[in-house]
């Protein structure tokens, strides 16, 4: 390999490593790793196959120029590589008895050479295969150097894919635990799980309509059910009181914001961090007359301003232990009056423009 090629490959490698480090979606990761392999090796195509043992297949979303391919896990060169756990260099694949001609038949592509490397998890089990197709040289042959280089890329791919899968699992677990915690918190105030579902769904939709990024919308969706988690520290005599609260009881009740914040604020996890903001700020008001800090306007985090609308909407549109639900028109009127006072006027405008849609969301999760 010439010095120039070395330098170019090094550049490519660094470029992709940087891009891959920023990528979180598994599909995009696979596409970038496949691309990196193809360019570094100088192959016409590259494919990351993943093994689905339950279904007995190998499948891919990221084959170049073709949509999802699915083959039986024991078929073809890929299947052979999974079975034997060996790297297979085939510079004349049609001569191999186990070459799967169906793939070419269905893609209309002619495979002239294949470099196939199995990918292993930490326990040494094969979970997929990295494959390059048709070396772009006159003789189409993959060399020993290609094998070495693709081994290096494959071990990088293994670690990246496993890390992404683990991150996804951890996030899913977090989301589940957070939702369960919220439900447990609400069950004490005799609310069903529907209350947290409604606040979550209303917050999510309002965040979308307000133009928040997809990742912020998702953060808020998962964080907003936690807004009242601080009520775990409020005594039953206050929390479950059927009628109006005394001033003193109301002062006790107001502590649920600061309590929730202190419970959650030490976490570095994005969803918990978002939840700590929501618990802290969902009773702040646009004009500064809210609690616990009395902050105003955009000093209140957008997550807090959105959840404030979702929370009050739910408190009015649905019955509470201390009062029945309000008529729809009365609810609308309150939001019109409180725009710019309790609520962010821009959010309030969007909310009122889609008022019927929000009622439909609430009706979906109505308590019976």
Q: Which residues participate in catalysis according to the annotation?
A: 231
Shortest distance in whole angstroms from residue 317 CB to ligand SIN: 11
Shortest distance in whole angstroms from residue 282 CB to Fe ion: 6
| Residue number, 146 or 186, with CB nearest to ligand C2E | 186
Q: Does residue 192 bind ligand SIN (CB under 6 A)?
A: no
Contact indicator for 121, 162 with CB cutoff of 8 Å:
yes
For the chain, list the strands marked E by DSSP: 43-52, 57-60, 69-72, 88-90, 114-120, 126-135
Which of 116, 311, 317, 339 lies at the binding interface for ligand C2E (CB under 6 A)?
311
Q: Does residue 189 bind ligand SIN (CB under 6 A)?
A: yes
Can you tell me the distance from the alpha carbon of 225 to that of 185, in angstroms, rounded to the nearest whole number? Answer: 10
| Residue number, 109 or 359, with CB nearest to ligand C2E | 359
Q: Does residue 9 bind ligand C2E (CB under 6 A)?
A: no
Q: Does residue 200 bind ligand C2E (CB under 6 A)?
A: no
Can you tell me the distance from the alpha carbon of 186 to that of 178, in angstroms, rounded to the nearest whole number? Answer: 12
Q: Give me the DSSP letters along 161-182.
A: HHHHHHHHHHHHHHHHHHHHHH
Q: How would you label 125-134 residue by residue, b for 16+ Cβ within 10 Å and e otherwise?
A: ebbbbbbbbb
Closest CA to 70 of 86, 55, 80, 88: 55
Q: Which residues form the interface with Fe ion (CB under 5 A)?
A: 228, 311
Pick the piece of the chain touching ligand C2E (CB under 6 A) from 218-226, 269-277, 293-301, 311-319.
311-319
Residue 246's CB is within 10 A of a number of other CB atoms, namely 11
Which of 47, 203, 279, 307 lies at the binding interface for ligand SIN (CB under 6 A)?
47
Shortest distance in whole angstroms from residue 282 CB to ligand C2E: 8
Return all residues near 254 (Cβ < 8 A) that are at least 6 apart: 283, 291, 292
Q: Write out the H or E segment, with its range, that includes residue 151.
A: helix 144-188
Shortest distance in whole angstroms from residue 108 CB to ligand SIN: 8
Q: Does residue 107 bind ligand SIN (CB under 6 A)?
A: yes
Distances (CA, A) of 255 to 196, 242, 286, 313: 20, 19, 20, 21
Q: Does residue 100 bind ligand SIN (CB under 6 A)?
A: yes
Shortest distance in whole angstroms from residue 270 CB to Fe ion: 22
| Residue number, 45 or 231, with CB nearest to ligand C2E | 231
Residues in the site for ligand C2E, rule: CB under 6 A?
241, 244-245, 253, 283, 311-312, 315-316, 320, 322-323
């Amino acid at each position: 390999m010439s010095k120039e090629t070395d330098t170019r490959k090094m550049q490519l490698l660094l470029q992709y490593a940087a891009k891959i480090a920023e990528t979180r979606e598994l599909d995009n990761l696979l596409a970038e790793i496949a691309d990196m392999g193809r360019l570094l090796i100088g192959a016409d195509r590259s494919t990351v196959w993943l093994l689905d043992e339950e279904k007995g297949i190998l499948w891919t979303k990221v084959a170049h120029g073709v949509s999802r391919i699915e083959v039986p896990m024991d078929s073809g060169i890929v299947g052979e590589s999974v079975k034997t756990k060996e790297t297979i260099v085939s510079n004349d694949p049609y001569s191999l008895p186990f070459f799967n001609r169906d793939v070419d038949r269905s893609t209309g592509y002619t495979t002239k050479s294949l470099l196939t490397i199995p990918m292993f998890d930490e326990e040494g089990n094969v979970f997929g295969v990295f494959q390059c197709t048709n070396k772009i040289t006159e003789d189409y042959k993959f060399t020993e150097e290609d094998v070495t280089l693709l081994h290096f890329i494959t071990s990088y791919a293994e670690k990246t894919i496993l890390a992404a899968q683990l991150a996804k699992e951890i996030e899913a677990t977090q989301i589940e635990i957070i939702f369960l915690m919220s439900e447990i918190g609400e069950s004490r105030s005799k609310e069903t799980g529907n209350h947290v579902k409604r606040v979550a769904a209303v917050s999510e939709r309002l965040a979308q309509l307000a133009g928040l990024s997809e990742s912020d919308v998702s953060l808020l969706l998962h964080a907003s059910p936690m807004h009242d988690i601080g009520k775990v520290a409020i005594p039953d005599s206050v929390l479950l009181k059927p009628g109006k609260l005394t001033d003193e009881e109301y002062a006790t009740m107001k502590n649920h914001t600061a309590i929730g914040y202190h419970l959650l604020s030490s976490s570095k996890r994005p969803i918990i961090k978002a939840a700590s903001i929501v618990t802290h700020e969902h009773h702040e008001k646009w004009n500064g007359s809210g609690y616990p800090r009395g902050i105003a306007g955009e000093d209140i985090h957008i997550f807090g301003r959105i959840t404030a609308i979702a929370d009050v909407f739910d408190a009015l549109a649905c019955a509470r232990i201390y009062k029945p639900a309000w008529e729809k028109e009365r609810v609308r009127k309150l939001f019109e009056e409180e725009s710019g006072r309790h609520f962010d006027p821009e959010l309030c405008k969007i909310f009122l423009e889609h008022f019927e849609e929000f009622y439909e969301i609430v009706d979906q999760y109505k308590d019976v």
